[in-house]
Chain A
Amino acid sequence: MMPLSQKHLLGIKDITADDINLILQTADNFKEVINRPIKKVPSLRDITVANVFFENSTRTRLSFELAEKRLSADVVNFSAAASSVKKGETLLDTVNNILAMKVDMVVMRHASPGAPHFLSRHIEANVINAGDGTHEHPTQALLDSFSIRERLGDVAGKKVAIIGDIMHSRVAISNIFALKKQGAEVMVCGPITLLPKYIKDLGVIVELDVQKALEWCDVANVLRIQLERMQIKYFPSLREYSLYFGINKERLNRLDKEITIMHPGPINRGVEINSDVADSEHAIILDQVENGVAIRMAVLYLLANRSS
């Protein structure tokens, strides 16, 4: 078995299709582990991981923490709200202080794109990007691929439509890279104001009519409208967005096939997705959350393996 090609997981753009495959295969084994009565293995018992979160997160942070604990790593948590960052400390200083306490791996979320890349050039520890601004969110894309593979058998050859706020979404970017590397076809769909101008250069199909996107795809990955990242108005109102782009039962009933619905969370019910879809058997939203722990265990395990 080949090790990962990278020392850090900064983005899907930097890793190879073989790396993705290795992570998904390893996650299969960890998924079995987390469904045992005793969900813990001792693999990382000599590793300390710092979860450094400069931006809010519930799911990702809990998921990483559980993954670390189920691998028996020691965990320290850090959130910017309650730290010296407020007192004016720089990112590198903050992290170097944490590393001085002998930490082997850093899981970081930051509002600035490229923050984990910057960090990885200056520190010895392995860096895992848990989301950097509007840039990448690699573990989310990996768990999305894992969930598609689990539901449909394979990612290659599948048609995946990413619907919603593409412009502000790191999930969209990482998913596009991951899906293309695995041989899937990708479409993006949303209001034209929320589609980046050069998105076509990534090799995706652009569609403005959500019903056509649903007709085309095998899997619809529905994204949240990220109001907190919007400094200006990109569409008239949430109600209008919901009318034109919201996924509801009525839209799905009009299709002559069944499609799989995904959402990276947090869900805004009644905006991008209705409850009658989010809670239906077509949605694998909670499977995605479960798979997230297995994927993060695989990433931590494989990076720790590589550090020697």
Chain B
Amino acid sequence: MQKRLILNAELLSITVDRLCQQLIENHQDFSNTVILGLQPRGIHFSDLLVDHLNKLTGKEITYGQLDTTFYRDDFRMRETPKAANATNIDFIIEDKEVILVDDVLFTGRTIRAALDAMMAYGRPKKVELMVLINRKYTRDLPISPDYIGKDVNTMETQRVLVDIGEGKKNKVWLINEEE
């Protein structure tokens, strides 16, 4: 198994800072904006992001976690069922600007499911997508991110390992799966 480092801890924190600045530019005081991290892996990144954003703006930004398991279109194609995770959204997103946050954008199917899942909480005014790693040329659906941490050219056989969050090394790796 070959591993290549694509983001180290220092670059990651610079990237998170830059993404926060971009958000502030577009959403100013976040009075009508909510952030939704996607379960299970996207929330490590969104936790980091929201934490930093709260520090920069000095406010408590409305933040929730969304699980897409029951909205997936591939759940019966899997060998083993995908474990569902908690959805924590204690607000209504009606007429809000929503920023969906995930760690890796690959085929776009998770985002498709997330768009469906999100609608159960109201009709948002606008939805944007932020990803830490954008895998290029691998999309199955016409979905593209509005905010990108890093673009990476990958092949289908490769995997992106995002090792961030509490007690983690805060690194992102590109892994070549052996045949």
Contacts and interface: CB of A to CB of B under 8 A. Distances in A.
B76 interface: yes
Contacts of A38: 119-121
Interface residues of A, number: 24
A302 B81 contact: yes
B100 to A, nearest CB: 18
Interface stretch (B48-56, B84-92, B150-158, B162-170): B84-92
Contact of B70 (A43, A306, A308): A43
Contacts of B26: none
B91 to A, nearest CB: 11
Interface residues of B, number: 24
A33 B80 contact: no
B97 interface: no
A37 B121 contact: yes
Contacts of B82: 1
A36 B121 contact: yes
Interface of A: 1-3, 25-26, 28-29, 32-33, 36-38, 40-43, 71, 301-302, 304-308
A304 B80 CA distance: 12
Interface in B21-78: 67, 69-72, 75-78
Interface of B: 67, 69-72, 75-78, 80-87, 92, 116-117, 119-122
A41 B69 CA distance: 10
Contacts of B85: 29
Contacts of A71: 70
B120 A43 contact: no
Highest count of chain B CB atoms <10 Å: which of A2, A25, A305, A306: A305
